[in-house]
Amino acid sequence: MKTAKEYLDSMRKMHFELYMFGERVTNHADNPIIKPTRNCIAATYELAEESKFPQYRNVMTVTSHLTGKKINRFCHIHQSTEDLVNKSKMGRGLGAYTGSCFQRCVEMDALNALSMVTYDIDQKYGTEYNKRFLKYLRYIQDEDLVCCGAMTDAKGDRSLRPAEQADPDQYLHVVEEKSDGIVVRGSKLHLTGAVNSHEIICMPTRAMREEDKDYAISFALPSDTQGIIYIYGRQSCDTRKIDSPNMDVGNVLYGGQECMVVFDDVFVPWERVFMYKEYDFAGDLVEKFSAYHRQSYACKSGMGDVLIGASQLVAEYQGTAKASHIKDKIIDMIQLNETLMSCSLACAYEGHREASGTYLVDTLRANVSKLNVTKFPYDIARLAQDIAGGLIVTMPSEKDLKHPKIGKYVAKYLKGVDGIAVENRVRVLRLIENLTVGLGAACYLAESMHGAGSPMAQRIMIGRQSNIERMKSSAKRLCGIEP
């Protein structure tokens, strides 16, 4: 297993074609915008180092079912409901440790979904996708690699199916078949941790019909493969990392990352292809991946822990902590946050073994879990802003606080309770700003809404999977309606 330092060193060896703010990035390893996001992934290695964090041993590491070796859980295929439960606990722990998106959930969810769907395709068509996949998985585990999961296509005109688009590149698709592989073209959007990853795993974005079969593809490549172009996504307040890389950033250690990724006629060797035109399995792969990924939002309860802690601190620093309405708001935040974690655990405990041997979460409860995530973090953020007050969006900068002339005024009028350093009050207010309207809000709020599918996607699945007929039968029996 890699250490955090070894991971960071391995990133220096990657050669991404990366663009940010209209310019080519030539030194991604030391870029101040990227560095906090890379620290986040380094934390997934750091907490797996048992000598440093023995309390995380059971959640961060696990025994590989392929090799019998100890591996990072992010590279693991779930072998029991205990694995699913530990996944949720790991997500919350890392969310609280980093206060940000640690960018590896999509990797774990993609690997597990592919472990099942490649097996199912082989059973139907006599292909060897699962054999290829297991060889690839062993490589990922042995090298302790980070994979970027790529599912969401650009989609173009959303009223049209993939094959109906005026521009066929709006969905990633095959443009050429060769004896040794395929050539693909298109784009994937919103890719979490894209330029912090060793590998990129592509999957179809929706269910397909026969006419869409050129779009029903799944494959993996080294992230710096020729022809893959990365365009870095902007976030609110992102240049604060450059202008004032300390207090004004809020979270001074970690951050999240998203990219638009373009595949400009990229070659994929056959041994890296896990689905090729089996359109009838595209929807199944999407649904299984989505169920896992909706469970993964236990991380938001970890970030919620940070926001609740910050809200309690700012109340203490401002002298409002003993007010009954503040206590009530903190309790409301805790109740909402624990409900998020409870739903993630519920879908894990109710998981089951699939034919491939992989354990899958209860998909109904996974969708309920994610639908709550589209609401509760917003309520928690609203309460945090209420407790913190307007200073989170009107406070002068760190440079003003440290200015030789005006700094004394900023310090004087930002003072709260006696004995609390002004800088401490400023720092915790900036952290609340970060999580609710600034840099971290991309990870905590916008990602809560749209990550793993927007609310309607979960509503559709809940409607499909709820057994309304059973509920009706219970009601009929109890009120005396004949069956």
Nearest to 92 by CA among 63, 61, 56, 62: 56
Distance between CA atoms of residues 307 and 328, nearest Å: 15
Cα three-residue angle 270-111-73, rounded to 5 degrees: 135
Which of 7, 276, 297, 317 is labelled catalytic?
Answer: 297
For the chain, what's the residue count?
A: 483
Determine whether 192 is an active site residue: yes
Spot the catalytic one: 258, 278, 398, 433: 258
Q: Does the annotation count 82 as an active-site position?
A: no
Catalytic residue among 40, 75, 105, 443: 105
CB count within 10 Å of CB 68 equals 8
- Helix, strand, or coil (residue 216): coil
Catalytic residue among 293, 374, 398, 444: 293
Q: Has 354 been annotated as catalytic?
A: no
Planar angle of CA 66, 71, 76, nearest 5 degrees = 60
Number of separate helices (H) and strands (E) present in the chain: 20, 14
Q: Which of 259, 299, 347, 443 is catalytic?
A: 299
17-20 and 23-25 beta bridge pairing:
antiparallel
Q: Which residue's structure tokens are 């919103």?
A: 190
237 flagged as catalytic: no
* Known active-site residue 50: no
Write down the catalytic residue from 101, 148, 259, 443.
Answer: 101
Closest CA to 257 of 172, 188, 171, 197: 197
Tokens of 270: 């056959």
Annotated active-site residue 293? The verdict is: yes
Which one of the listed residues 44, 192, 363, 436 is annotated catalytic? 192
Q: Which entry of 46, 199, 433, 447 is annotated as an active-site residue? A: 447
DSSP 3-state assignment of 66? Answer: coil
Residue 195 DSSP class:
G
Residue 231 sits at the vertex; the CA angle it makes with 227 and 236, to the nearest 5 degrees, is: 165
Residues classed as catalytic: 101, 105, 192, 258, 293, 297, 299, 447
